[in-house]
Homo-oligomer: A and B are copies of this chain.
Amino acid sequence: MIEAQIYKALGDPVRLEMVAKLAKGSSCTIGELSSNLGISRQGARKQIQVLVSANVVRLVPQGRETQVVLNTEKLKVAKMFISKLETEWDQRLHALKSFAEGQNRN
C-alpha cells in the first residue's frame, strides 16, 4: 500500500503555503500561521489539523499558545518516493534504448 496521504496533505494551496511558511521559519504559533491566508482562523485550524494527521507537522502547546513544528522526516520520505519513481522510469528508458539498439544492429 502506497502512502498517498503525504501528497494529499501538500495538495492544497493553503496547506502548502503553511508548510512553505514554516520552512521559511517566519512564524510558528497556530495564530500566526493562520493569518494572512484569506480564510478564518477556524478554517485555517482545520487545515493545520490535516497536516498534523499526515504527520507533516507537530503541535507543541506552550501556555496559552501552541507551536507548530515542521516534521522534515516526512518531507524526506515524500521526496525519496518520487526519486524512486524517477529512477525506475529512467532504468526502463535505458533498457528500452538498449533493446532498440540491439534491434538496429545490422
* Residues of A that sit less than 8 Å from B by CB: 1-2, 4-13, 15-17, 19-20, 22-25, 70, 72, 75-76, 78-79, 82-86, 88-90, 92
Contacts and interface: CB of A to CB of B under 8 A. Distances in A.
Contact of A9 (B1, B11, B72, B85): B11
A13 B4 contact: yes
Contacts of A19: 85
A93 to B, nearest CB: 9
Given A7-B7, A8-B8, A8-B12, 10 more contacts: A5-B11, A7-B10, A7-B16, A23-B88, A70-B89, A75-B82, A79-B79, A79-B82, A79-B86, A82-B82
